[in-house]
Amino acid sequence: MSIPAGIPLPLTSVQATWLLVERNIITYRSAWKLFITGFLEPVFYLLSIGIGVGQLIDTFEFNGQTIPYAEFVAPGMLAASAFNGALMDSCFNFFFKLKHLRLYDSVLATPVGTADVARGEVIWGQLRGGSYSAAFLVVMLLLGYIHTWWAVLALPAALLIGFAFSAVAMACTTWFTSWQDFEKVTLVQTPLFLFSATFFPVTAFDGWLRWVVECTPLYRGVVLCRELTTGTVTLDSLVSVVYLMVMGVVGLLVVRKRLDTLLLT
Amino acid sequence: MATTQPTQPAQRTRPAPHPSGRLSTVTAVRRMAPYWLTVSLRTWRGSVVSAFLAPIFYVVAMGVLLGGFIASDRARLEGAPDYLSFIVPGLVAGHAMQTAVADTSWPVFSNFKWNRVYDSMVATPIAVRQVAFAHLFFVWARVTAVCAIFDLVVAPFGVYGSWWGPFAALAAQSLTGLTFATLMYGYACRIETDAAFGVVFRLAIFPLFLFSGAFFPVANLGAVGERVAQLTPLWHGVNLSRMLSLDTVDLSTAAINLAVLLAVAVLGGWWAVSGLEKRMQS
Amino acid sequence: MTESEIASTAEPMIWARGLRKSFGTGESAFEAVKGIDLDVRRGEAFGFLGPNGAGKSSTMRMIAAVSPVTAGELRILGRDPETDGPAIRARLGVCPQEDTLDSELNVRDNLVIYARYFGIGRADARARADELLELVNLTEKAKAKVDDLSGGMKRRLTIARSLVNRPDLLLLDEPTTGLDPQARHVLWDQLFRLKQQGVTLVITTHYMDEAEQLCDRLVVMDKGVVAAEGSPAALIREHSSREVAELRFGLGDVGADGADGAGANPHETHAADVADLGDRVEVLPDRLLVYSADGDEVLEAVHDRGLRPVATLVRRSTLEDVFLRLTGRTLVD
């Protein structure tokens, strides 16, 4: 046994953050079926809407390029699945751990702090979401939907989307009191998923409505992924990157603050 | 004595009690009705979004907006005049399935595993079988109500082929809901941990929703894909709902659709009841 | 031993002056702890007694360095929880009132992962987990799910978890609530052994027998303040008599003066008859308690006065008498 008698140096924040990730990996070892099947969701969407409905649609124009419908929908699914996965993890799973498992009450009795908890949970969500995104990109490649090297950057883009939504969703979840509150998640999640130009071009909206859509975070993510997988990257793409980054960092700061008020009172 | 005599319970015409104290199923279901009504009244607000708003978002996004990019060609849309008219009856049937399985998965599991409502019910003269009937009955009623409101809301979009279309389609959707409610109920009674739901939702319910002809004609799946899709109960529900809604009924197909749904519902009913009986014995 | 370490051994484990804790602000503010002083020495077993809402758990959470101090001063292991929270928590073991086990992990992983939170290496964490499972007799359950454990087993696992970092100071918030008598005694044995090994114990409890068994010194808290402090024996000496005589009268027995007693509590009416026999008399719905140095003497006097209680009992005064004396008999929620 090598536990020093005096007060040992507390963990570094990197170590503490990683410990939360380690705990989640262990719990997932027994739920591997759930882990594997999570990857299928965007693929099913791609096959159903992209190919099934796609046969009713000829081509779309995107940033001056004419592309088949399936190639148009695929990057949308990549972004949307990062978004859905982040919400799933950061709302349901985080709420369960926070309120039912009371996991953090016991964690915070150790040298691990609230900032470590917030970072650890977001990183875990990114590991999970990132592996799904990578697999989905491979599927796109196999289906012949990728013709540019820019598409490699779609993976970090998906991670960025996941990070931004994880952090904000987790922050919102800290205000939830019962499972009934998850209807509010559905209320935000469904329209974002359906109207963020995932399934059709933003030109379907007119005037101010189009402006509103272009300002929503998932739209920024969808467009970013689409620009990367179709190789039509412009300087404007950076707007989306900065937008999502700011969103994630702010979310993370709020999570930490909220955990302080919830758990350290 | 100042206290008044307890008043005699009003004589009501009720069937003579069985010597063993066994209740008729109708009586049993009636006795459980207050419970299910209370639960529904207390929780309906919490499901407004997923029951009504979410499907309407789907109709607008897919039917109206995406539909705007799809040529209105009856030949490619199974006889529908436009994509919106095509997708609505399919979406409602798919939604009937989703509402039904949502109501018979975790809620059923919770009733014998976590909050143990079933335990308290069977501690009375009510039989296990009747508990399952009552729960299924109320899920069925809820699914039907959700679909009815949905059919009503989309009526102004002019998606129906005749005045009786929405009513006939509702019957098909309601039956589709019942069929899936029984199947999921039986499944819920036979699993050990609720993690099993996650897998069945992802590998069965979700692909069914996407590939059973709700969003596109199953002919687009290719010859083999089409045959496979037509084997699923949801396709029969979607197809029946669509034919009745569009007034494009082909009698022999409709008869097959109806027969399949009824057969699965009966088998599912047996699967659900036997499942709960097994579960409550162990 | 370095100089600073010698200094830290001389330092009390817990030192508090004017410690306060309030929740909320403005009109809804609520003060749970209203200025208490504490000195807990190394190796001692220290108890917090008090009814629900007395401020015990709030105090415990401040000591555990997870709840900021509102006012006053607090030092744990000589350090300020405000600035050195992680370093303090590294040396604490905490057994919360409700089991906060990780039900997504199996029994052994609960200990391993918890050890990891203290920065203990993976191999050491595993070895420590096995050692602790042995200690609390859960080795056979190592692979079991937490949800499948009985209440007593969960409690033992929580205690094992609180020991994972070999703490210098162990905080136990109502450690035996909800346990059956066997499990309680097993737990007491284990806590006693830890104390012998030099671990400082801080315990909150409702159970007076537990406090008498385990604590060297205790404070009785009520409404956020310390109502009394001392060893169990000293508290009994100070706040109660040596013995208690319990007298139970029949319902129809309305006393010598034969007043309009129908329906009145006979113990109410007899209280005056025995008031001079003890240091203090307490009336309960079903009996009279006479606090006195010699209970048998009280009984004799009662009989001499022609009173005929249907049942009598003489017993030693307990901590429970002290507790009820200091905090009253009214229910607190």
Higher pLDDT, C164 or B42: C164
Q: Tell me: the pLDDT tens digits for B60-104?
A: 999 999 998 888 888 888 888 899 999 999 999 999 999 999 999
Render pLDDT for B249-264 as a digit per residue (tens, 0 to 9): 999 999 999 999 999 9
Count Cβ atoms within 10 A of the Cβ of residue B12 and give its class: 0-12 exposed, 13-18 middle, 19 or more buried.
exposed
- By the CB < 8 Å criterion, does C110 face chain A? no
Average pLDDT estimate for C29-38? 90
Complex confidence, ipTM = 0.86
CA distance A108 to chain C (A): 7
Higher pLDDT, B248 or C320: B248
Q: Residue B212 pLDDT more than 60?
A: yes
Residues in A whose CB is inside 8 Å of some CB of B read 31, 33-34, 37-38, 40-41, 44-45, 47-49, 51-53, 55-57, 60, 180, 183-184, 186-187, 190-191, 194-195, 199-200, 204-205
Whether residues C68 and A27 touch (CB distance < 8 A) is answered with no
Asked if pLDDT for residue C319 goes beyond 90, the answer is no
| pLDDT tier for residue C323 given thresholds of 50, 70 and 90 | confident
Longest Cα separation, chain B: 85
pLDDT at A6 over 80: no
Q: Do B216 and A184 touch (CB under 8 A)?
A: no
Best of A28, A57, A81, A190 to substitute, by most chain B Cβ atoms within 10 angstroms, is A190
Taking only residues 200 to 229 of chain C, the set having a beta carbon closer than 8 angstroms to any beta carbon of chain A reads none
List Cβ neighbours of C46 (8 Å cut-off, separation of 6 or more): C14, C40, C200, C201, C202, C203, C215, C216, C217, C218, C219
More confident of the two residues C87 and B217: B217
Q: How confident is the model at residue A10 (pLDDT cuts 50, 70, 90)?
A: low
CB contact under 8 A, B54 and A190: yes
C-beta neighbour count of B49 within 10 angstroms: 19
pLDDT in tens, C58-78: 999 999 988 889 999 999 998
What DSSP letter does each residue of A68-98 carry, written as one string?
EHHHHHHHHHHHHHHHHHHHIIIIIIHHIII
B11 lies in some domain: no
Q: What is the pLDDT of residue B16?
A: 60
Supply the pLDDT for residue C291: 87
Across the strands, what pairs with C204? C48, C173
pTM: 0.80
pLDDT category, B273, cuts 50, 70, 90?
Answer: very high
Mutation site for C-interface testing, chosen from A1, A7, A89 by largest number of C Cβ within 10 Å: A7
Q: B74 with B211: CB under 8 angstroms?
A: no
Helix axes A154-173, A217-230, angle to 10 degrees: 170
Residue identified by tokens 């309120």 is: A99
Cβ atoms B202, A38 nearer than 8 A: yes
- Residue C217: closest CA among C48, C62, C74: C48
Test A187 with B49 for CB contact under 8 angstroms.
Answer: yes
CB C106 within 8 A of CB C145: yes
State the smallest CA–CA distance between residue B198 and chain A in angstroms: 7
In this structure, the number of other CB atoms found within 10 A of the CB of residue A137 comes to: 22
Q: Kindly tell me if the per-residue pLDDT of A212 is higher than 90.
A: yes
CB contact under 8 A, B66 and A199: yes
pLDDT surpasses 90 at A74 = yes
pLDDT given for residue C255 in this prediction = 53
Question: Which chain A residues are closer than 8 Å to B62 by Cβ?
Answer: 194, 199
Domain count, chain B: 1
Mean predicted confidence (pLDDT) in B220-231: 93
The topology under which CATH files domain C241-316 is Alpha-Beta Plaits (3.30.70)
Query: What average pLDDT does the structure give for chain B?
Result: 88
Size of chain C, expressed as the number of residues it contains: 333
| The domains spanning C3-231 and C241-316 adopt the same CATH topology | no
In A, minimum Cα distance to B203 occurs at A37
Closest CA of chain B from A181, distance in Å: 8
Q: How far apart are CA C46 and CA C154, in angstroms?
A: 24
> What does the pLDDT read at residue B3?
46
From A45, A52, A190, residue closest to B220, measured CB to CB: A52
Q: Rounded distance, CA C316 to CA A222, Å? A: 78
Query: CB–CB of C96 and A106 under 8 A?
Result: yes
- Is C258 a residue whose pLDDT tops 60? no
In the structure, what pLDDT confidence band is assigned to residue C7 with cuts at 50, 70 and 90?
A: very low
Q: What would the pLDDT profile of A240-255 be if each residue is shown by its tens digit?
A: 999 999 999 999 999 9
d(CA B94, CA B92): 5
> Does B195 sit within 8 Å of A204, measured CB to CB?
no
User: Are A45 and B210 within 8 A, CB to CB?
Assistant: yes
Closest CA to C325 of C248, C242, C236, C265: C236
- B61 and A CB contact within 8 Å: yes
Measured CA to CA, the distance from residue C19 to residue C36 in angstroms comes to: 5
Would you place residue A162 in the very low, low, confident or very high pLDDT band (cuts 50, 70, 90)?
A: very high
Contact A194 B61 (CB under 8 A): yes
C98 in contact with A at a CB cutoff of 8 Å?
yes
A16 touches C at CB < 8 Å:
yes
The pLDDT tens digits for C120-133 are: 888 999 999 999 99
Average pLDDT over residues B15-26: 72
Angle, CA of C150, B123 and B137, to the nearest 5°: 110
Smallest Cβ–Cβ distance between C117 and the set A6, A9, A19 belongs to: A19
Task: Rank A55-69, B230-244, C49-63, C227-241 by mean pLDDT and report only the highest.
Answer: B230-244
CA-based nearest distance A171→chain C, Å: 20
Decide if B196 is inside a domain. Answer: yes
Phi, psi (degrees; rounded to nearest 5) at A232:
-115, 50
Give the per-residue pLDDT at A2: 35
- In this prediction, residue B48 carries a pLDDT of 80
pLDDT for A62 beyond 90: no
User: CA-to-CA distance for A119 and A15, rounded, in angstroms?
Assistant: 11
- 34-73 in A: which are within 8 Å (CB) of C? none
Tokens read off for C184: 């309680």
Tell me the H-state helices in chain C: 3-10, 56-63, 81-89, 107-117, 122-135, 151-162, 181-196, 208-214, 232-239, 266-274, 295-304, 319-327
C323 contacts C219 by C-beta, under 8 angstroms = no
Q: State residue A254's pLDDT score.
A: 94
Instruction: Give the pLDDT score at C6.
Output: 41
Question: With pLDDT > 90 as the criterion, what percentage of chain A qualifies?
Answer: 45
Write out the two tokens for A164: 């931004």
pLDDT band at C2 (very low <50, low <70, confident <90, very high): very low
Name which of B70, B198, B210 is nearest A44 (Cβ-Cβ): B210
Out of A41, A53, A57, the one facing B202 most closely (by C-beta) is A41
Calpha distance B71→B60 (Å, rounded): 17
**Percent of all residues in chain C with a pLDDT value above 90, rounded to a whole number:** 26
CB-based contact, B225 to chain A, within 8 Å: no
Over residues B189-198, the mean pLDDT reads 88
A101 Cβ under 8 Å from any chain C Cβ? yes
Topology of the domain comprising C3-231: Rossmann fold (3.40.50)
Higher pLDDT residue, A59 or A56? A56
The closest of C12, C65, C8 to C38, measured between CA atoms, is C12
Q: What is the pLDDT of residues A90-149, one digit of tens each?
A: 888 899 888 888 889 889 988 888 888 988 998 998 888 898 899 999 999 999 999 899
Give chain C positions within 8 Å (CB) of A34: none
Q: Is A10 helix (H, G, I), strand (E, B) or coil?
A: coil
Average pLDDT over residues A151-156: 94
pLDDT reported for residue A168: 95
CB C202 within 8 A of CB C172: yes
